[in-house]
Amino acid sequence: MRPVRILVSILFALAAFVALPPASGAQDKKITLGLTTRTGSNSLPFVIAEEKGFFKGEGLNAVVVVMQNQVVVTGVASKNVDYGGTFSNFVGAAIAGLPVKIVMSVMDGSDHVLVTAPGIKRVEDLKGKIVGISSFGGTPHSEVITILRKHGMTEKDVTFLQIGGSSARYQSLEAGNIQAAMLVPPFNKIGRQKGFNEIVSFNDVLKIPLGGLATHIDKTKESPGEIVKMIRALIKSVDYIHNRKADILALMEKSWGVKDTEVREAMYRDLVGLYSRNGVAPDDVMKNVIQLVQEGRKTKTAATISDVADWSYAKKASEELKR
């Protein structure tokens, strides 16, 4: 009888084990999301989604990791990073033939501002000066080239220095290592308080999508459900930014170091309208960014919106949330 009892006990244990749900399911899988900084408007929806549990609410163990702009692209292209939270550099990568795709637009406009040293008050004054950028071919690089051309100058009139994200560019500007840089809030506002000049808002020059979600083409085939969940979490995060103004102002003070109440109010007012509520960028702004990247990289490769972006996942996520 003893062997029979042992067998029954083993079978009962196995049945109980099979009946149990997986320990953590998808949350056991760590998802890496590459950003150039945790501070600023472009990073805000991603940081909110992580800190307020929107990723976890979708069953995702997504972690924001700060890295250089170009590392974000190469990491996604090599599958060492699951998602990238930048935009125009992925447009350039897709045009160049890398296996990446933008699946969501987080910001349908740019809040980048050209900030210069106290003695530089016009774009023309930049001739012979050093301009800090995130990476060659990245958004700030392309934006500065566009501004220079609008004022009758070329990229040869300045020296570009590859530095990194907006935080690093501001620190370099403050240290005097560069004389100008495209900055996002809060760095442009902090700089103005310290005597630096805001001379051009890029949104007044050309409207382009600034932030987005990009991934490897293989993931679009192998994990479409995960992509939709990532986008759902980010759309919820954008809704949070719209509906929880007091919390966002508190975050600006605590995490961004913006102590001035009026500055925080102005920053919130400027950035809140830039966020996409459905994750799909309008065709006209997509054409703008494709043209911007092509001109910045001096490439004549023909490219359409479908070559660089696939909005089907954002549309599905938006429809599911509406239900």
pLDDT by residue (tens digit) across 14-24? 333 333 344 44
Q: Do 185 and 67 belong together in one domain?
A: no
Closest alpha carbon to 105 in 116, 91, 118: 91
Structure tokens at 178: 């560069």
Residue 8 belongs to some domain of the structure: no
HSE-CB for 249 with a 13 A CA cutoff: 14
Q: Do 143 and 103 belong together in one domain?
A: no
Could you give the CA distance from residue 161 to residue 302 in angstroms, rounded to a whole number? 29
β-strand pairing of 180-183 with 130-133 = parallel
Q: Is the pLDDT of residue 5 over 50?
A: no
Number of domains in the chain: 2
Q: Do 80 and 213 belong together in one domain?
A: yes
pLDDT tens-digit series, residues 223-274? 999 999 999 999 999 999 999 999 999 999 999 888 889 889 988 998 898 9
What pLDDT is attached to residue 296?
Answer: 73
Looking up residue 186, the CATH number of its domain turns out to be 3.40.190.10
Residue 301 belongs to some domain of the structure: yes
Residue 2 belongs to some domain of the structure: no
Q: Do 254 and 299 belong together in one domain?
A: yes
Q: How confident is the model at residue 27 (pLDDT cuts 50, 70, 90)?
A: low
Could you give the CA distance from residue 313 to residue 288 in angstroms, rounded to a whole number? 22
Q: How far is CA 91 from the centre of its chain?
A: 13
- Identify the domain boundary among 173, 204, 235: 204
Q: Do 48 and 169 belong together in one domain?
A: no
Could you give the CA distance from residue 29 to residue 104 in angstroms, rounded to a whole number? 22
Per the CB < 8 A criterion, the answer to whether 61 and 94 are in contact is: no
Could you give the CA distance from residue 315 to residue 69 in angstroms, rounded to a whole number? 27
Structure tokens at 302: 């023909």
193 membership: H or E segment, kind and range:
helix 187-193
DSSP E strand stretches across the chain? 30-35, 61-66, 83-84, 100-105, 113-116, 130-133, 159-162, 180-183, 197-201, 212-216
Residue 253 belongs to some domain of the structure: yes
Cβ-proximal residues to 302 (8 Å cutoff; 6+ apart), any chain: none
Per the CB < 8 A criterion, the answer to whether 182 and 140 are in contact is: yes
Q: Do 147 and 36 belong together in one domain?
A: no
- Identify the domain boundary among 204, 228, 255: 204
Phi-psi region of 257 (alpha: psi -120 to 50; beta: other; left: phi over 0): left
- Identify the domain boundary among 158, 186, 204: 204
Q: Do 213 and 100 belong together in one domain?
A: yes
HSE-CB for 174 with a 13 A CA cutoff: 15
Domain span at residue 188 reads: 113-204
Q: Which of 4-18, 85-99, 173-187, 301-315 has the lowest mean pLDDT?
A: 4-18
Q: Do 124 and 104 belong together in one domain?
A: no
Q: Do 310 and 218 belong together in one domain?
A: yes
pLDDT tens-digit series, residues 59-89? 999 999 999 888 999 999 999 999 999 888 8
Closest alpha carbon to 155 in 169, 143, 139, 173: 143
Q: Is the pLDDT of residue 34 over 90?
A: yes
Beginning with the edge strand found earlier in the chain, give each strand of the sheet holding 30-35 in spatial order.
Answer: 61-66, 30-35, 83-84, 212-216, 100-105
Residue 15 belongs to some domain of the structure: no
Residue 120 belongs to some domain of the structure: yes
Q: Do 239 and 307 belong together in one domain?
A: yes
User: Would you say how long the chain is, in residues?
Assistant: 323
Q: What angle, rounded to 10 degrees, do the helices at 139-150 and 283-297 form?
A: 80
Q: How far is CA 240 from the centre of its chain?
A: 17
Residue 159 belongs to some domain of the structure: yes
Q: Buried (b) or exposed (e) across 271-298, using 16+ Cβ within 10 A?
A: beebbbebbbbeeebbebbbebbbebbe
Could you give the CA distance from residue 137 to residue 148 in angstroms, rounded to a whole number? 15
